[in-house]
Each structure stands twice: as C-alpha cells, then as structure tokens.
Amino acid sequence: MSWKYYGNEAAVALLRSQVARGWVRQAYLFCGPSGVGRRTLALQLAQAVSCLHPPHPGEFCSRCRPCKLLAEMRHPDLEVVESESRSGTLRVEQVRELQHRLSLTPYEGRYRIALILRCEEANLNAQNALLKTLEEPPQRVILLLTAENSESLLPTIVSRCEVLHLRAMPPKALARVLVECEQCDPIVAAQIARLAAGRPGEALRLLHEPERRIALLHTVEEHLHLLQSSMLNRFALAERLSRTLSKAEIVLLLEHWITFWRDVLLSVYQDQEELTYSEFRPQIVEIAAQTGEKRVLQVLHDLRQVLEATQSNVNLRLAFEVLFLNLPHIFLDRSPESAVREATQRE
C-alpha cells in the first residue's frame, strides 16, 4: 500500500477509491488541527492522480518523477498558496495570481493542482475570489484546500468541496504506530504521542527533530519559573515576549501554556493518566493542590482570552501584563529543571 498515512483510515480509503474509479472531484477541503496531516494527505492525493506507474488502481509508486516532485512540492504543475507567515493573512492578490496560473495548460501532467494552505487565514476578499474559481473551475484543475475547520470559511466555499474531517489519533494508538512503523523507543514514543496530542504529522516532526521536544519542555520549565517569579520579573517578561516574538510564536506559546494548565485541571480531578507533560507530574500535583478547580478554570479562561486577542490589533504587552497579574504565585519544592534534564538524557 503506497499511502503512508497514520490515522483517518476512512478518509484515505475514500480518496483511494475515488482515484481508482476515476471519480476525482475538482475541489477537496481537508479540515483538522494543525499537525494532523492535512497537507500530507492532500499531497498524497496529488501523487495518486499524477503517478506514471501506479502499482494498483488508486495507488502511487512514490518513485516516478511526478511522485517525487509532488512529495517535495516542486512539481511544475503544483501551485502552492499560503499566507506569508503562520497566523498571517492570505490576500486576494495571491488568489488572483493563482487564478491566472490555473488558466494555463498543464506543463507535463494530467492536471494543474492548487494546494491552498490554511484557508482560514484568507480574508473575505480572498475567499470571495476563491469562490469564483470553485464555481467556474478550469478544465484539468484540482483544488486542494486545508483549514482548521470548515466553519472558518464561507459556506459557499465548503459546499463546493469534498470535505474530509481529519482527527487526531488516541495518543496510545499513535505511540504504537511510532514504535511499530518508525522503530521509536517505547518511552520516547509515548512522550511524543502526548506532546503531539495525537497528531501524526506533529509527532513525526517531534521524532525526527528531538530539539523540538526539548524546546517544548523548556517552554513549560520557563512557565513554571514565571509562576514563582515576582511581579517585577513578570512585567519584564511581558515586555520581552511582546517585543521579540512574532504573532505565530505567541499563539504557539499560549497553546502550550493552555495544555499545561489542562494537565493541572486533570490533576485537580485526580486524573493523571493522560497528562501531556507527565515529565512535570510532581510540579503539576503541587500546583493543583495550591490552586484548586475554580482558580485553574479562571487561568484557562484568561489564557484563551489572550489567545483570541492575538487575532486582533490588541496591545500584546498590555494583554500579557494583565494575564501575569492574574496568574497565581506558586511555591514549588522540586525544581522544574530536573524534568528537562531527565528527558534530555533519554535522547
């Protein structure tokens, strides 16, 4: 089987069947959380419809020129469109330029393929321009769209696409896949599956880039230091974060903090089996004991408010200062550095 895709077996089976029967749609929308494998599955569909030597109907060889170039996103008939940076804006000018390129005859394949990444970042004008292409698609063109969810797009765009909702795998199932298919150490596989929240694409990045895993643990370590720091140091950190981090980096930072406080909430409820940051279990238990359910829920609410505020022109320094004022002051018996040190020694 040439489709090497972990999880979402029903979506893979549907696409394979459509390619085998020659029922490929002109537009697909791959929805799901970042890192679940939206782009990977879209590119594998592109390989399946472009392969010169498919071993079986609906499959692709992964060895011919189209397969290799599409996997690397270098095929001359593949047009990739995305905002200039994550959490940026996909502009109408980019869509109009895409429309012009799609009007051209394919250079060497059967189709011209447009891969439009993170469509939720398209502004209203860009979405309306994209709708025009979906309503009157050129011949021999396939449009592949990815988005966090279909609700972030115009309903008229969604209605003109074959929508595939991709979901994260249970972390334990993903850990088994990493052990069996990627020859990963079981302990490391369990850690990666938790940190990736069951998203196979993110898990593979964490597996092949160990420094990303350690960076995630350092993020939690720094947050624990923040909870123990004085108000003066908190304000200094608010100034530094707002000045040095991009909007996309701030979004990722807040998402990791939210995940950490979710672990604290689970500990409050005496459920520690599914902790994402289990390396910090002793610190999480201490924080849960010092805060309690009501305070933890308030912290999660405050964090989500700042995360939502990043999508507007809010003063990020002020938003961080207000957040840090409301964060509880914690006293920890065990240093968070020990958890990072132990994880690093396993690499």
pLDDT digits 0-9 by tens, 12-56? 999 999 999 999 999 999 999 999 999 999 999 999 999 999 999
Asked if 293 and 215 sit in the same domain, the reply is yes
Asked if 114 and 13 sit in the same domain, the reply is yes
Query: Residue 84 belongs to a domain with what CATH number?
Result: 3.40.50.300
What does the alpha-carbon distance between residue 9 and residue 118 come to, in Å, rounded to a whole number? 22
Whole-number pLDDT of residue 17: 96
Asked if 145 and 251 sit in the same domain, the reply is no
Q: Checking phi first, is residue 170 left (phi over 0); if not, alpha (psi -120 to 50) or beta?
A: beta
Domain that holds residue 257: 209-345
Residue 346 has pLDDT above 60, yes or no: no
Per-residue pLDDT of 91-119, as tens digits, reads 999 999 999 999 999 999 899 999 999 99
Q: How confident is residue 274, by pLDDT bands cut at 50, 70 and 90?
A: confident
Residue 138 or 10, more confident:
10
Asked if 118 and 225 sit in the same domain, the reply is no
Residue 253 has pLDDT above 90, yes or no: yes
Query: How many percent of the chain have pLDDT more than 90?
Result: 79
Q: Tokens 């200062």 map to which residue?
A: 321
Average of per-residue pLDDT values in the chain: 92
Query: Residue 257 belongs to a domain with what CATH number?
Result: 1.20.272
CB 179 within 8 A of CB 189: yes
How long a stretch of residues is the chain?
347
CB 28 within 8 A of CB 143: yes
What does the alpha-carbon distance between residue 222 and residue 280 come to, in Å, rounded to a whole number? 12
Q: Does 60 fall in a domain?
A: yes
Q: pTM for this structure?
A: 0.84
Whole-number pLDDT of residue 339: 61
Q: Does 20 fall in a domain?
A: yes
The DSSP string of 170-234 is PHHHHHHHHHHHH---HHHHHHHHHHTTT-HHHHHHHHH-HHHHHHHHHHHHHHHHHHHS-HHHH
Asked if 29 and 134 sit in the same domain, the reply is yes
When divided into structural domains, the chain yields a total of 2
Q: Does 188 fall in a domain?
A: no
How many other CB atoms are there within 10 angstroms of residue 48's CB atom? 23
Extract the tokens encoding 178. Answer: 């990493």
